Chain A
């Protein structure tokens, strides 16, 4: 009894420490974003929203934020659509070379980002499609589609294998069954995949930096600010980016875990 309590306690402390280690830098970034001093030192200066006002008045940041928004939205939709198609083809069909087909789809996340980014740049410029906003969208879609597929595939694996046949049996053609049964069944996973892919795309730096050309996304803009000077606006932008990413991930988790359980009964 005492032993388990001790183990319990130490595990709890361990978990808290891990989270502290991960979140402390972010927490400090948030704190310093409200600090009036230019340099991040302790003791802190006065509370100030000066840096937020500054970024709100910076057209470059606005443009980068808009670019990020466009890129992550388009990426989310495209990657989720592709992810759904591949997950469904995996669920429904058996075909020759299915193993390699699945491996190919799941490959992108295993490639180091910097190599992926260089390869994307080389390829896109070769076919004359680099340096555009859509270049970033293409690259991010390749990068995030496997996540969408994994999430939707997990959901499909919980589906009663007779559900689709039951819909055909009641007079639904393959397409109407897709619309009225498969998509509604996968809805929580689809929403989750949309949030997840949007969050990954919104945060992604390496690939964006290589292929975006003059169309900076938010992470690229941050890098340009911190290169060569110390500017607390980075903390303000960072806080903003962190909030958006966290929101997307939390929404994704709610749909993935919470709704997943319901409906498989």
Chain B
């Protein structure tokens, strides 16, 4: 119990008729790195803003370190936030920006300066201390924003899509900076993002939200391998999602008839029920001839996408259903495939997952 830092209990937030967050129940532990992920409008930013006190829950209770926070004003909380727009004070220098919170808390001038410089140094931007923030680069401004929040020595740091404005290579560097800082300081990070790669790379636990509700809470691996809902499977991406009717079921294996064919899944299902199953794109194999395997389907290659040495192939079965296969570029080059080529996909029944089951 004492390890819980933040508790959301039946929290609901509505704006007029629109319910932004519905019946939210979940806890964040001390020193945990939690990412809240979802498409825009899913309520993730509203959740973060409620933690900062910028929105008041319409219902329910938010507790921080055991204390009910619902009516505590933003400036009376110790929940610094790193903003998507950074929201640095443009009329102040980097150092003055970092000092701002300490000044508001009445820390005396000498200590303020010392602590600000210490943080600027820790984040490697000491040389820019006296520069106007408008003259700094994106990455440097990002570090000023981080320093400005962390100098307050909070027990929790809120981050609202802080890396979304940075170039791809800077994002990777800042991810490393953030994870390292979080480990080192041992404080709780609550990180809101729509980027799966950011969430999965950094977070201990990921919360997936849609339409104001939590779809799944779990480690990145759990979410990737065992999506709890169809939405999660789609949102996480690189998943093949098939829907059909259960035709047979015995000894832990069921046959599901879909428009693309009949496939085996390792689960006990009720015959005649509708069923949806998911197979990750990286668990599907490709071959030029029909393989001898549990589940096979013939597809036409539509396009390929390269990310480093990984290739994602987008294919289409005869009924027009989209399939995705992810594999190493080196392995794929053996086949010498072109767009429009017919290939066979196969996967084992054990690799399929029914959303909502463990």
Partner-B contacts on A (CB < 8 A) = 160-163, 165-174, 176-177, 180-181, 184-185, 187, 262-265
Contact = CB atoms under 8 A, between A and B. Distances in A.
Contact of B148 (A160, A162, A170, A172): A170
B87 A160 contact: yes
A168 B72 CA distance: 12
Given A167-B100, A263-B134, A185 B81 contact: no
Contacts of A170: 75, 80, 100-101, 104, 148-149, 152
A187 B83 CA distance: 24
B70 to A, nearest CB: 16
A265 B85 CA distance: 11
A93 to B, nearest CB: 16
Contact of A160 (B79, B85, B104): B85
Given A165-B54, A169-B81, A170-B80, A185 B90 contact: yes
Contacts of B80: 169-170
B91 A184 contact: yes
A185 B133 CA distance: 14
B75 A265 contact: no
A263 B75 contact: no
B52 interface: yes
B8 interface: no
Contact of B104 (A161, A162, A172, A187): A172
A226 B84 CA distance: 63
Contact of A166 (B81, B134, B152): B81
A264 B92 CA distance: 12
B75 A187 contact: no
A265 B90 contact: yes
A81 to B, nearest CB: 20
B91 A263 contact: yes
Contacts of B101: 170-171
B231 interface: no
A176 to B, nearest CB: 6
Nearest to A176: B104
A181 B89 contact: yes
Contacts of B134: 262-263, 265
Given A167-B100, A170-B148, A185 B91 contact: yes
Contact of B85 (A162, A171, A262): A162
A262 B135 CA distance: 10
A264 B105 CA distance: 27
